[in-house]
Copies of this chain bind each other. A is one copy, B any other.
Amino acid sequence: MEKTRYQQGVDIIKEYTLTDNEEIGTHMDIVATFKDLAPDLESYIVEFAFGDIYSREGLTKQQQTMVTISSLVTLGTEPQLELHINTGLTIGLTPKEIVGTIVHLIPYTGFPRVLNALKIVKKVFAQRDVKVNE
């Protein structure tokens, strides 16, 4: 039996965000936060963003997260950047690849966005006790 889009989305979210550290939020927490404001938001995040987009063939999980981080650095939306730096570590981007992704963006987005992003990397790496040379 084929999985529903919802189940597909939930499974992917788990894969991307499950850690032993309870302090680290997941996309399901976001969904829960806004349940009273817009209950359908759950469907858009779980079914569309994860069940559809993250389920596409063609990119590996590591590539998907690298692409996501690149866009979030460029947008400057920091809460999401924090979430996806965490996601990156969870699905196996090396600390070096995460830092490398962000530093590579200097010529395209300029230093300010990159430095603000690295501040978040520093926070997440400290929280997860990760070093860049690992």
A112 to chain B: closest CB distance in Å? Answer: 4
Residues of B within 8 A of A59 (CB): 97, 100-101, 104
Count identical subunits in the complex.
Answer: 6
Q: Whole-angstrom distance between the alpha carbons of A67 and B64 in the complex?
A: 10
Whether A8 is near chain B, meaning CB under 8 Å from some CB there, is: no
**Chain A count of residues within 8 A CB distance of the other chain:** 60
A70 to chain B: closest CB distance in Å? Answer: 4
Residues of B within 8 A of A80 (CB): 108, 111-112, 115-116
Residue of B at shortest CB range from A70? B70
Which listed residue (B44, B56, B63, B121) contacts A40, Cβ 8 A?
B56
Which listed residue (B30, B74, B121) contacts A70, Cβ 8 A?
B74
CB pair B107–A108 under 8 Å, yes or no, is no
Residue among A36, A75, A96, A112 with most chain B CB within 10 A: A112
Known A97-B59, A110-B110: A68·B104 in contact at CB below 8 Å: yes
Report which A residues bind B (CB closer than 8 A).
30, 33-34, 36-38, 40-41, 43-45, 48-49, 52-54, 56-59, 63-64, 66-68, 70-77, 79-80, 96-97, 99-101, 103-113, 115-116, 118-119, 121-122, 125, 131-132
